[in-house]
């Protein structure tokens, strides 16, 4: 194993952390309706837990409204129950064919709460990036101990891993800041 191998392993792991962050931030509610709000909803579909997106079409007909139309109309009640059970703070209304989800505007207190939530999610992902850095640094130190690389190579590797860490924590800060601005924007 070489320094380049460690660096090549490190970057995709950090990119995976960023992708996870984007997915998690997509689930945080802003004042607008987005299909991503329902990603966490799982419906008991004939005894097996099924993601809502795999059994219904979800649309955003207007900025403050989501509609859910199950492909199997007999599952309307189960879908409605799953949405209520997901505790999204949205009250579904069912007209027998389609479920409408009016997205209430966020009040100031709720915005601040969501801002904190975004900050916590970002912090967790920074920790994940640091854990990747720690594992990579350990690999480099072990290679030096086993005399597989020179001290100069180790120093170069540690510097490059730190540069990657700085880049990815910067991306995390940027994504979190953008999401917080989205939430605070009335």
Domains of the chain (ranges; CATH) run 3-27+107-184 (1.10.132.20), 35-102 (3.30.1360.40)
Task: Report pTM.
Answer: 0.68
- Rounded (5°) CA angle 24-30-35: 65
d(CA 185, CA 166): 28
Mean pLDDT by 10 residues, the chain (186 residues): 88 93 79 75 87 89 88 88 81 88 81 87 95 94 92 93 95 93 77
């Amino acid at each position: 194993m070489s320094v380049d191998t460690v660096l090549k392993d490190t970057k995709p792991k950090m990119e995976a952390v960023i992708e996870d962050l984007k997915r998690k931030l997509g689930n945080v509610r802003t004042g607008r309706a987005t299909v991503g709000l329902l990603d966490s909803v799982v419906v008991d579909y004939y005894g097996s837990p099924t993601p809502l997106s795999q059994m219904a079409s979800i649309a955003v007909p207007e900025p403050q409204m989501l509609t859910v139309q199950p492909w199997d109309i007999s599952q309307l009640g189960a879908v409605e129950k799953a949405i209520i059970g997901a505790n999204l703070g949205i009250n579904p209304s069912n007209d027998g064919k389609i479920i409408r989800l009016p997205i209430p505007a966020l009040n100031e207190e709720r915005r601040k709460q969501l801002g904190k939530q975004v900050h916590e999610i970002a912090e967790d992902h920074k920790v994940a990036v640091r854990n990747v850095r720690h594992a990579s640094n350990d690999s480099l130190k072990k290679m030096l101990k086993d005399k597989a690389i020179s001290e100069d190579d180790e120093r170069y590797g540690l510097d490059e891993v730190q540069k990657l860490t700085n880049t990815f924590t910067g991306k995390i800060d940027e994504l979190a800041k953008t999401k917080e601005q989205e939430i605070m924007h009335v």
